[in-house]
Amino acid sequence: MSITTSRRAVSRDKETEELNNLIIEGMRDKKAKNIVLLDLRDLDDAPVDFFIICEGDSNVHVKAISDSVHKSVKEALYLNPTHLEGSSNAKWILMDYFNTVVHVFYPETRAFYEIEQLWSDAKATEYADV
């Protein structure tokens, strides 16, 4: 690996870390529950580097969390998700930020899809509720 390639990788890692911190901050601002970051980088079949998962108490809460994440990232990094899905019924809102995918769930929907169990080989970091 050349020095230039190494610098780009370190820069990308720092940008992704900042993005992930902003996502978690946006979740916490709206009192998201059961926040988990799954680090998928060491898994061969992973579609992205990170999943950040949380839940809200109601459809309105799920939408508010998603809006807060979007606003935090947009204001700090001028970045919009490359794909957004599920905001119309707000049972599961998916926000794709290329290296990181955000999942904001309604509790029953999260339990049904069991994403943490599907990716149980990933390194998981849990964040305390605020």
Domains identified in the chain, total number: 1
pLDDT tens readout for residues 100-125: 999 999 999 999 999 999 999 999 99
- Three-state secondary-structure class, residue 95: strand
CATH number at residue 47: 3.30.460.10
CA distances from 53 to 1, 9, 62, 68, 103 (A): 33, 25, 12, 14, 5
**Whose CA is closest to 36, among 18, 55, 57, 17?**
55
pLDDT tens readout for residues 31-59: 999 999 999 999 999 999 999 999 999 99
**Whose CA is closest to 70, among 85, 89, 48?**
85
With contact defined as beta carbons under 8 Å apart, do 89 and 59 qualify? Answer: yes
pLDDT above 70 (res 24): yes
Query: Could you list the residue range(s) of the whole structural domain that residue 116 is in?
Result: 3-127
pLDDT bracket for residue 76 (50, 70, 90):
very high
